[in-house]
């Protein structure tokens, strides 16, 4: 099998990068796999990871059969990101191995685990959605406003006055610190 290695540290001063690479290479050698891509990345958990994307592109092009990481948190930026990427890899029939957590999606039991993780992630999203809906309903029942504040609507008189003075919609938006779409909407209110 053709393997891609992904090693990441959050900052340049961390010393585990070579440890990650060495551990993954030993694992791949024991499995009899071939390393075709090895990415070393220095990026924080929330930053855009262009180097990681190179591995996903290789997976989409069927240039790799399995992706190997030292630890799950080295691969995923968040639980949602992790689950989305694992689901994509599963759909592409590309394996995924996390050495530290002993997760191996190249095996039937590993793929079953990935399915269960996906179910729990979907359950978590559904529960969050239900809590948000319940919170909105409660706020509305209490008579509290919901959504973005009507900041642009509070400036309707100013918008119309500036427009009457010959200001452009862009200039009005800039002067009042609101969006041009809001300016257009406020000018068109009452003229429809």
Say what the pLDDT of residue 13 is: 54
Band (44; pLDDT cuts 50, 70, 90): low
> How far is Cα 128 from Cα 181, in angstroms, rounded to an integer?
31
Number of other CB atoms surrounding residue 74 within 10 Å: 19
Residue predicted with more confidence, 28 or 145: 28
Q: Is this structure's pTM higher than 0.85?
A: no
| Domain 2-121 in this protein, CATH class | alpha beta
Report the pLDDT value the prediction gives residue 48, as an integer from 0 to 100: 64
Position 24 pLDDT exceeds 90: yes
Q: Name the active-site residue from 10, 44, 85, 98.
A: 10
Task: For 95, list phi and psi in degrees, rounded to 5.
Answer: -75, 165
Domain positions in the chain: 2-121, 153-188
Name the β-bridge partners of 41. 8
151 in catalytic set: no
Q: What is the pLDDT of residues 65-114, one digit of tens each?
A: 999 998 887 887 777 788 788 888 888 989 999 898 888 888 888 777 77
DSSP for 32-97, written as a single string: T-EEEEEEEEE--TTS--HHHHHHHHHHHTT--SEEEESSHHHH-SSHHHHHHHHHHHHHTT-EEE
Lowest-confidence segment of 94-98, 150-154, 156-160, 175-179 by average pLDDT? 150-154
Residue 174 confidence (pLDDT) above 70: yes
């Amino acid at each position: 099998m053709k393997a891609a290695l992904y090693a990441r540290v959050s900052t340049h001063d961390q010393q585990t990068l070579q440890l990650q690479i060495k551990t993954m290479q030993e694992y791949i050698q024991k499995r009899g796999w071939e390393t075709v891509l090895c990415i070393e990345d220095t990026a924080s958990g929330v930053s855009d990871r262009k180097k990681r994307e190179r591995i996903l592109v290789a997976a989409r092009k069927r240039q790799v059969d399995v992706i190997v990481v030292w630890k799950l948190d080295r691969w995923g930026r968040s639980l949602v990101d992790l689950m989305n990427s694992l689901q994509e890899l599963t759909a592409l029939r590309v394996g995924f191995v996390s050495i530290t957590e002993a997760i191996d999606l190249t095996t039937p039991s590993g793929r079953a685990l990935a399915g269960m993780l996906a179910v729990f992630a979907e359950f978590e999203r559904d529960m969050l959605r239900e809590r948000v809906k319940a919170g909105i309903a409660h706020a509305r029942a209490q008579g509290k406003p919901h959504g973005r504040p009507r900041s642009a609507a509070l400036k309707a008189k100013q918008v119309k006055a500036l427009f009457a003075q010959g200001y452009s919609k862009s200039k009005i938006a800039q002067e009042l610190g609101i969006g041009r779409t809001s300016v257009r909407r406020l000018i068109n209110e009452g003229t429809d």
